[in-house]
A and B are shown apart, each in its own frame.
Chain A
Amino acid sequence: MNIRNLISYLLLIIFLGLVQIFFLKNLALFGVAFAFVYLLGILSLPISTRPVPVILIAFVLGFVIDLFYETIGMHTAAATFMAFARSLWLRAISPTGGYVETEEPTLSEMGFGWFLSYSLPLIFAYSLVFFTADQWGTGGLWVILNKSLFSSLFTCLLVILVQLLFFKRRRRI
């Protein structure tokens, strides 16, 4: 990751964080579909990033979001879990012949189908941890699954939209 990429990555994180805190915090479609669009900051890290930095970034990011959500630990736990799952999942769905070293797991580079199969399970895993922590001892399993499913679909949709709108499109060979 060169310095230019690093700066644009930091800008992306700040932008996503602000959107999350100021606009998406109190948004829940039909009371079940939450949006965790800041996860794009973890999802769009280059494929070659080692698992340890990814987990650390996710931990810090989740913690900052938690401060604003007044849900200390919940986003942190979920984001850390997702970051750990990311490295395993990337290995599991690697195309034959492996990834090209410089590839980023984004919509424009990897295509729609691959990106969906990459992001949707990870976001679902995130939501599952998050809502389990949220509903601990109160809601039932049904509520957790319901919220997780619709939140991951909604988040995935938003993540794709953000990429279509703001990410530089590279010409594919």
Chain B
Amino acid sequence: MLRILQFLYRIRAFILFVFLEVAAVWMIVTNNSPQGAAFFNSSNAVVGSLLKQQADVVQFFSLADANEALTTENAEILEQLLALQVKPDSVSLPLDSAFAATYEFRGARVIGNSLRFSQNYLTINKGAKDGVKPGMGIFNPEGVVGRVKSVSENYSVAFSLLNTGLMVSSKIKSTDVFGSVQWDGKSSTEARLLFVPRHVKTQEGDTIVTSGFNAVFPEGIQIGVISKVAPNEKDPNYLDLTVKLSTDFSKVSYVYLVENTQFNELDSLNRQAEISNEY
């Protein structure tokens, strides 16, 4: 018995190492499983506020660009608003609830970002206090940015589109053929469009937008353009499409969060019909 204890004491460093290593691997696994609650992340108050300080300094230098982008966007929105305004002489009908606003938008600022790993995340300066919920979509005027993963009081953490675990339901704008955009972990400017059947005629330069099927993003938000079309070597039924992303992830700073107010209804309907939404 004493021998065993002595032996264990002698290899205590190794035992401690194995124990801590297992703990670390456990943390990796919990953090990456979509259902598992992540306890430690940068939506933590201390970490969040430090990241915010850094973002305050760094983003000061890109204010001019951000301002310009906002002005351009404002102009476009004003134009659309004018087109929508009801003419005084036209007949107006009370809208059906199905036409009521399905999507709600919020503005936010990115305070933490990474693009060099294969699982990249964004930290955002809005949290549960501002009505952010897990599952909300994130985009900016350039295109889709990501999806909220977990939320704390003041901050939230989101999957970047540059995260191999995130799939965005999307379609080719000109032909309405749908598929999913997923990042392959290689270049921060390119992703792949999956599940497009072989018979579809498509070419370089076709625009890819969100399809609106998975109720996270409204239809028609830009993702990118097709930069390469090739037959898929692994699965000959599908095409291998490379998409050049329209969002420049290296300088994402101001973003919009979008919430589908009917998401729960759709989700429970899908569940009732026993359809798992694969996108």
Contact = CB atoms under 8 A, between A and B. Distances in A.
Contacts, number: 99
Interface string A61-91: 0110011111111101100110110010000
B192 to A, nearest CB: 12
A76 B24 contact: yes
A31 B28 contact: no
A69 B12 contact: no
Nearest to B122: A70
B42 interface: yes
A159 to B, nearest CB: 20
Contacts of A28: 116
Contact of A139 (B25, B50, B118): B118
B105 interface: no
A129 to B, nearest CB: 9
A63 B20 CA distance: 11
Nearest to A79: B24
A52 B40 contact: no
B47 A138 contact: no
A70 B28 contact: no
Nearest to A130: B117
Contacts of A135: 118, 185
B164 A72 contact: no
Interface string B171-186: 0000000000000111
A134 interface: yes
A117 interface: no
Q: How large is the interface on B (under 10, 10 to 19, 20 to 34, 35 or more residues)?
A: 35 or more
B93 to A, nearest CB: 49
A71 B117 contact: yes
A80 B17 contact: yes
Interface string B102-123: 0000000000111111110101
A50 B14 CA distance: 12
A120 interface: no
A56 B41 CA distance: 21
Contacts of B50: 21, 68
24 contacts: A21-B54, A22-B54, A31-B187, A50-B13, A56-B20, A59-B20, A67-B41, A67-B47, A68-B47, A71-B119, A73-B31, A77-B24, A77-B28, A80-B24, A81-B21, A87-B13, A133-B28, A134-B117, A134-B118, A137-B164, A138-B118, A138-B164, A138-B185, A139-B118
Given A76-B24, A77-B28, A138-B184, 6 more contacts: A50-B13, A62-B24, A63-B40, A67-B42, A68-B50, A70-B112
Interface of A: 21-22, 25-26, 28, 31, 34, 50-52, 55-56, 59, 62-63, 66-74, 76-77, 80-81, 83-84, 87, 133-135, 137-139
Interface of B: 12-14, 16-17, 20-21, 23-31, 38, 40-42, 44, 47, 50-51, 54, 112-119, 121, 123, 157, 164, 184-188
A-B CB proximity, top 4 nearest? A73-B27, A73-B28, A77-B24, A51-B13
